[in-house]
């Protein structure tokens, strides 16, 4: 049989979950073999160790591990392929896990691949509503494994939110699924991503799907059109959601419109709705940079203006970023991308004087600069300006507490990183809502927390992240994992590069100096840097390759 390109995993059938407790427990105990095994300890969104520390913005904990008195919820994704379902699933899981809600994604495609085996293909009619008996039996087997895994996690691992990522194209199957969840005392919430905007469809197909070997050496636009025609051929009977008795949210054209129906069963459901109204699936980049060096000794209380070197840094950094954006835009077009205008750039900064003056380099060039009061640096409290020796002499007990938990510990009259993460939650929602490319100019402590949200770092990693001034960090959203890139800023005084002196760094290492300019990003998330040639720099920029991309490479040909 010729090699097939798989479309979205479709649930046409009523659920086949058995009530055999031993069977469910056995399946749950061996669940990792059905989920994406290669992402373990690489893609934290999909596999979070059970002994993980408290989530970055988690306010409290419970014996059951379930928060907000909300019980158990099954979020069921609905929509044809190339509509952004997986992107929404991963973004939603990232946000809920950030709040401390035990969340796990169950991609039906993972179960299909685990069942048919590596390198094997499903039958030609596997996705058809009128499939052959053999294909129907195979679908039943795959669905049973996935559903039992969901119940095993909710019942035996104290899970709270299970996200079921599949096409779920018919009203009959969705009603059956809702009834089944209700029998197990699980609230169901359906989320449909409905897209009829041809430009968005083509962009989604170009960005995610056409890496398949089936589209090799094809014009990207033609490949996207061919892929979308395949969807129409293989899934001719998709029914958009209109079931009045179900709880559902319908996102139309990447968040341009929303419809809600019966979404009011608990507090957590309202948080999910609020998050979805602040997110989208459009492509854009986020850049992180430090503010320039202040005049004299930097101080939290003094709020000094930029020094002469700080002003020079702001201009050089702005020129470097704008040149990088131009080169990156031209590179995408040369590789077959659409000749669209460059995305607009919005600049955010705190209300501190040195961040405002750093942002002036962009304001002078006509870019919009917005101030965010929540983005002020972490408050060092009574330890400001004290040397490490003085802190150890004055606060020996605090040092012991800090060494045990540098994320949650507060020095006297100071903020912890946990306090900062809670303070930044409105910024995180605005960050999700922003559709332009976004530049964030802030203190290193703020960058640590925001970077950790986008890249799903653990609380133990956050205080150790470093952002030297001679680098710009670029984060590019993707369906399964975000990717990061380091952009070198040339010609800076080495004395302005290291981390800010007002940080409380005990026992957190100091930021990298001029001899080690690469941020200490978590080793588990990245492979060794790869050089990326760009003209106009005295040092080659370095691309940070997220190894999770390799872990999910098999999904490119899946067309889900």
Return the residue matching tokens 């591990």.
65
- Token reading at 222: 């033609």
Catalytic residue among 9, 43, 165, 360: 165
Tell me if 126 sits within 8 A of 138, measured CB to CB: yes
Cα distances (angstroms) measured from residue 385 to each of 129, 138, 391, 512, 548: 69, 66, 10, 20, 41
| Contact (Cβ atoms closer than 8 angstroms) between residue 542 and residue 526 | no
What is the torsional sign of CA 527, 533, 537, 538? positive
Residues paired with residue 74 on neighbouring β-strands, in sequence order? 162, 188
In sequence order, the 6+-apart residues with CB closer than 8 A to the CB of 60 are 67
Buried b (16+ CB within 10 A) or exposed e, 494-526: eebbbbbebbbbbebeebbeeeebebebbeebb
Q: Are 317 and 357 in contact (CB under 8 A)?
A: no
251 vs 248: CA distance, rounded Å: 10
Q: Strand, helix or coil at 251? A: strand
Sheet containing strand 103-107, strands side by side:
103-107, 161-165, 73-78, 187-194, 248-252, 257-261
**165 counts as catalytic:** yes
Q: Which sign, positive or negative, has the C-alpha torsion 507, 511, 516, 518?
A: positive
Q: Count how many Cα atoms sit within 13 Å of the Cα of residue 486 in the half-sphere of its side chain.
A: 26
CA distance 87 to 211: 17
| φ/ψ of residue 136, rounded to 5 | -65, -45
3-state secondary structure 138-163: HHHHHHHHHHHHHHHHHHHCCCCEEE
For residue 291, the SS3 value is: coil
**Residues belonging to the active site:** 165
């Amino acid at each position: 049989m010729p090699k097939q390109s798989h479309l979205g995993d479709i649930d046409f059938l009523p659920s086949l979950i058995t009530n055999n407790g031993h069977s469910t427990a056995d399946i749950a105990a061996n669940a990792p073999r059905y989920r994406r095994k290669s992402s373990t300890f690489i893609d934290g969104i999909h596999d979070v160790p059970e002994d993980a520390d408290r989530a970055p913005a988690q306010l409290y904990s419970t014996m059951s591990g379930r928060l907000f008195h909300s019980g158990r919820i099954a979020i069921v994704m609905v929509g044809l392929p190339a509509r952004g379902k997986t992107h929404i699933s991963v973004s939603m899981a990232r946000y809920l896990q950030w709040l401390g809600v035990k969340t796990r994604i169950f991609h039906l495609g993972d179960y299909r691949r685990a069942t048919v085996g590596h390198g094997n293909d499903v039958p030609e009619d596997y996705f058809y509503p009128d499939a052959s008996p053999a294909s129907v039996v195979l679908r039943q087997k795959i669905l049973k494994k996935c559903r039992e895994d969901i119940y095993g996690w909710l019942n035996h691992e104290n899970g709270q939110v299970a996200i079921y990522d599949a096409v779920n194209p018919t009203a009959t199957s969705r009603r059956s699924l809702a009834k089944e969840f209700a029998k197990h005392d699980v609230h169901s919430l359906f989320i449909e991503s409905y897209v009829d905007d041809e430009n968005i469809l083509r962009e989604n197909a170009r960005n995610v799907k056409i890496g398949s070997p089936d589209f090799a050496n094809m014009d990207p636009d033609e490949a996207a059109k061919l892929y979308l025609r395949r969807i129409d051929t293989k899934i001719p009977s998709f029914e958009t959601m209109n079931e009045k008795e179900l709880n559902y949210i319908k996102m139309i054209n990447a968040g341009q419109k929303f419809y809600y129906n019966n979404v009011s069963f608990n507090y957590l459901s309202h948080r999910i709705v609020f998050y979805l109204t602040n997110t989208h699936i459009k492509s854009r980049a986020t850049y992180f940079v430090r503010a320039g060096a202040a005049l004299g000794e930097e101080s939290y209380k003094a709020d000094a203006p930029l020094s002469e070197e700080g002003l020079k840094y702001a201009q050089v950094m702005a020129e470097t970023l704008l040149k990088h954006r131009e080169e990156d835009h031209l590179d995408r077009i040369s590789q077959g991308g659409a000749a669209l205008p460059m995305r607009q750039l919005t600049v955010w900064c705190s209300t501190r004087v040195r961040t405002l003056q750093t942002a002036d380099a962009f304001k002078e060039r006509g870019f919009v600069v917005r101030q965010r009061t929540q983005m002020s640096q972490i408050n060092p409290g009574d330890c400001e300006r004290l040397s490490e020796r003085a802190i150890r002499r004055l606060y020996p007990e605090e040092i012991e507490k800090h060494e045990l938990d540098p994320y949650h510990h507060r020095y006297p009259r100071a903020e912890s990183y946990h306090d900062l993460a809670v303070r930044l939650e409105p910024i995180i929602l605005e960050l999700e809502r922003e559709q332009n490319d976004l530049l964030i100019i802030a203190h290193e402590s703020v960058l640590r927390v925001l970077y950790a949200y986008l890249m799903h770092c653990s609380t133990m990693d956050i205080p150790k992240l470093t952002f030297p001034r001679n680098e710009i960090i670029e984060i590019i959203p993707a369906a399964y994992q975000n990717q990061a890139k380091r952009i070198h800023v040339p010609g800076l005084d080495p004395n302005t590069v290291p981390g800010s002196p007002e940080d409380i760094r005990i026992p957190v290492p100091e930021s990298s100096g001029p001899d080690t300019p690469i941020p200490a990003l978590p080793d588990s998330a990245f492979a060794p840097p790869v050089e990326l040639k760009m003209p106009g720099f005295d040092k080659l920029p370095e691309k940070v390759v997220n190894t999770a991309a390799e872990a999910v490479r098999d999904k490119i040909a899946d067309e889900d």
